[in-house]
A and B are shown apart, each in its own frame.
Chain A
Amino acid sequence: MVASPSLSVRDARIVFGDRVVAGGLTFDFPGGRTTCLLGRSGVGKTSLLRWLAGLLPGSGRMQPTAYMAQRDLLLPWLDILDNVLLGYRLRGDAAALKAAAPRARTLLAEVGLGDRAGDRPETLSAGMRQRAALARTLCEDRPTVLMDEPFAHLDAVTRLELQDLATRLLAGRTVVLVTHDPLEALRMGHQVRVLSGSPFAVGPAIEPPGAVPRDPTDPVLLGLQGRLIAELRSAP
């Protein structure tokens, strides 16, 4: 894959309703790496992600991005394969759709759903549905991927498995993942930044040692987790 470009935010002002979520925001997401944004509920993580995705008024999307939300957002009237190909269906380019179909099948196999391509979403478990959503996100094949607490609704073990899977499949892309789970941020992020305050400020980059996905039982990681929790609790 061609190296994914970095994502730069310059003097951004993010407004949600009447509330200023952030003003004068300037920082960079390094290209081809995963940056995890950690913050408590309501700090404005989702607003920032929506702003980056070009979904908020006044936010120009800087480059093509794929977006993965908390909920799987699978369309119940399409089977799993067509859900994975949703972007191509919506853009209405028949040739591109046809060309993308084999890749969609490969991705489904990689997330362990190779034999469920023709099934409807309601027949899948929550973990399987989120894996299908991951395949859909990757099928878009965009250099930048934005993820909004994508594993928040899963049980602890499924969450760990999906973190491993996503880290492997997202390698090489510029990923911004927001989460309120310090361990998730430390396992998946090349870089972790804490968001705090209102309007929020972005903390300095924390770069845990070792390659991603990191071992959740590593004492260094657990020590960092304790520090992050303390930082989050003391945040205004």
Chain B
Amino acid sequence: MRPLITVVGLLLAWEALTWATGVPVYILPPPSRVAVALVERFDLLIEQAAWTAAEMVLGLALGLVLGAMLAVVFAASAGWRRWALPLVIISQAIPVIAIAPLLVLWLGYGMASKVAMAALVIFFPVVSALYDGLRRTDPGWIDLAQTMDASPQAMLLQIRFPAALPAFASGARIAAAVAPIGAVIGEWVGASAGLGFLMTQSLARGQTPLAFAALVLLCLLGLALYHATDWAARRLVPWQSPQGE
């Protein structure tokens, strides 16, 4: 309830500020005009939002799957770890925004370059969270499994991997929070659809209320993605959730 009151209060203050200062609508539209744009252009906005949502979800899924696979490979094989882990770390020194134009060049203006961008942004947090989790298995569990003659494969899949799931869940939450950044950066650099694309288009044409309306939807999409991931993460590690939740 409290966050809602805060938001309503801020919106009222913003509305009052625009009336009091008489700032032009194309610089800072009042919330009422943004609401009008939201209603009037709803069909367009929803269409673009669906496009961006697909980019975010696919990017998140791709990044989670690839990141988890690489983390498991690193945990299972010292050879891979020695050869590929430094490369993964070095790759993080490259600002992802700088690669965005290249991705658009290689993968085109369509959805693929945005999915790749979102996957790329979340890849490292996912690898690092799960790999850390896989390395920090409770030594007591490892000892116990050893006295039970567990094969290295059983040790990895039945002990270390489930034990690392809470760490993976944390990585997935971070990934869900940053995946939208990747998708929107991709749209800004070059796209033919999506909320980020709509924002750049409408700002260039002085349709600032529409750009703000797109921003509101982006915000809602980000929140929905985060909460959906958080819900799934809790289902994944039910033993970590406090009782009665």
Mark A residues whose CB is within 8 Å of B.
Answer: 50, 53-55, 65-67, 69, 71, 73, 75-77, 86-87, 89-92, 120-122, 140
Contact = CB atoms under 8 A, between A and B. Distances in A.
Nearest to B145: A90
A55 B148 contact: no
A72 B178 CA distance: 39
A191 B88 CA distance: 57
Nearest 9 A/B pairs, CB to CB: A76-B239, A90-B150, A87-B148, A67-B147, A90-B154, A77-B162, A73-B140, A90-B148, A73-B144
A39 to B, nearest CB: 20
B158 interface: yes
Nearest to B153: A92
B141 interface: yes
A77 B239 CA distance: 7
A75 B141 contact: yes
A75 B163 CA distance: 8
Given A71-B140, A77-B165, A122-B239, A90 B147 contact: no
19 contacts: A53-B143, A55-B146, A65-B147, A67-B143, A67-B144, A75-B159, A75-B162, A77-B239, A86-B145, A87-B149, A90-B145, A90-B148, A90-B150, A90-B151, A90-B158, A91-B149, A92-B151, A92-B154, A120-B238
B150 A69 contact: no
Contacts of B155: 90
Given A66-B147, A77-B239, 14 more contacts: A55-B146, A67-B147, A69-B140, A73-B138, A73-B141, A75-B141, A77-B165, A90-B154, A90-B155, A90-B159, A91-B151, A120-B239, A121-B239, A122-B239
Contacts, number: 60
Nearest to A68: B144
A163 to B, nearest CB: 22
Contacts of B149: 87, 90-91
Contacts of A77: 162, 165, 237, 239
B154 A91 contact: yes
Interface of B: 138, 140-141, 143-151, 154-155, 158-159, 162-163, 165, 237-240, 243
A69 B149 CA distance: 16
A4 B135 CA distance: 38
A53 B165 CA distance: 29
A86 B162 CA distance: 14
A137 to B, nearest CB: 10
Contacts of B243: 122
Nearest to A140: B148
Contacts of B145: 86, 90
B143 to A, nearest CB: 5
A91 B143 contact: no
Contacts of B163: 75
B76 to A, nearest CB: 16
A181 to B, nearest CB: 21
Contacts of A86: 144-145, 148
Contacts of A65: 147
Contacts of A67: 143-144, 147
A7 to B, nearest CB: 14
Nearest to B237: A77
A69 B240 CA distance: 23
Given A77-B239, A90-B150, A91-B149, A69 B162 contact: no
B182 to A, nearest CB: 31
A47 to B, nearest CB: 12
A69 B163 CA distance: 18
B143 A69 contact: yes
B172 to A, nearest CB: 17
